[in-house]
Amino acid sequence: MITLSGIIGSGKSSLTEILAKELGTKAYYEPVKDNPVLPIFYKGNEIAAKKRAAGDKEATNPYAYLLQTFFLNRRFAMIKASMQEDNNILDRSIYEDEIFMKMNTEMGNATQVEYDIYKSLLANMMEELPYASHKKSPDLMITIKVSYPTMLQRIEKRGRDYEQVEQDPSLVEYYQRLLGHYDVWMDEYDASPLLVIDGDKYDFVANVNDRVIVLEQIEQKLYELNKISKEQLEDLKAQHVALLKEA
């Protein structure tokens, strides 16, 4: 089982799709299109920021806790399902979920009481996870690390209005804080082996050469972890040679 992590717009879903095709595995994707809370959460952030700027220091986003509970429930169900079988990839996991609730609390979008309840719920879920499957943790966590400018470029490219800083200037602080939290999370993560991909340097979606480099980094790591054989590694490298010739 491979799990991906990274900031909004880092390319998790794209790399998940590429890896699933490359390795012949099943892909699990974070719910976005069928998420009824996400658009109103962004609107709630904007409203809360304006109220605080106008002097209401207690203003919160009424949808912050709702959104994180929605995501937590979906991610718990998704990782439980993926852990029931071998050979699958998740484009986001439960292991980074707390980042968002912690940050929303720090920014005043959620209350400390909401954060404490959320942490208790998350802890209970994590305790139950090993009993719900035959795996205790991912075999590999892949983090796509990108800078703020790259993040904005990719957010703009995928075109969700509620994610654009031009539509909501309060997102500038939100995104920059999120990048900082991810740096801390990468340093502290210890649930499984971690591989960091340089998302600024490698455009694995549009550039075939970059895609091959990233795939070989991941597959070399899987080989070192004894998750693929030497023969499988060599076969994949041969496929890459053919792919580069076609490009």
Nearest to 45 by CA among 109, 98, 114: 109
- Does 142 carry a binding-site annotation? no
Task: Determine whether the annotation assigns residue 246 to a binding site.
Answer: no
Asked if residue 30 belongs to a known ligand binding site, the reply is yes
34, 56, 86, 91: which one is catalytic? 91
The question of whether 139 is a catalytic residue gets the answer no
For residue 233 the two structure tokens come to 């590694």
Answer left, alpha or beta for residue 6, where phi above 0 means left and psi between -120 and 50 means alpha.
Answer: left
| 14 contact partners, CB below 8 Å, separation of at least 6 | 204, 205
158 marked as part of a ligand binding site: yes
**22 labelled as ligand-binding?**
no
Is 182 labelled as part of a ligand binding site?
Answer: no
Does 119 carry a binding-site annotation? no
Instruction: List, in order, residues 6 or more apart from 110 with CB less than 8 Å away.
Output: 60, 61, 64, 65, 68, 101, 104
Rounded to whole angstroms, the Cα distance separating 136 from 83 reads: 8
Annotated ligand binding at 98? The verdict is no
213 annotated among ligand-binding-site residues: no
Residue 28, φ and ψ in degrees, nearest 5: -115, 130
Known binding-site positions: 6-14, 30, 42, 68, 92, 97, 154-158, 163
Known binding-site positions for ATP: 6-14, 154-158
> Which residues are catalytic, by number?
91
Known binding-site positions for substrate: 30, 42, 68, 92, 97, 163
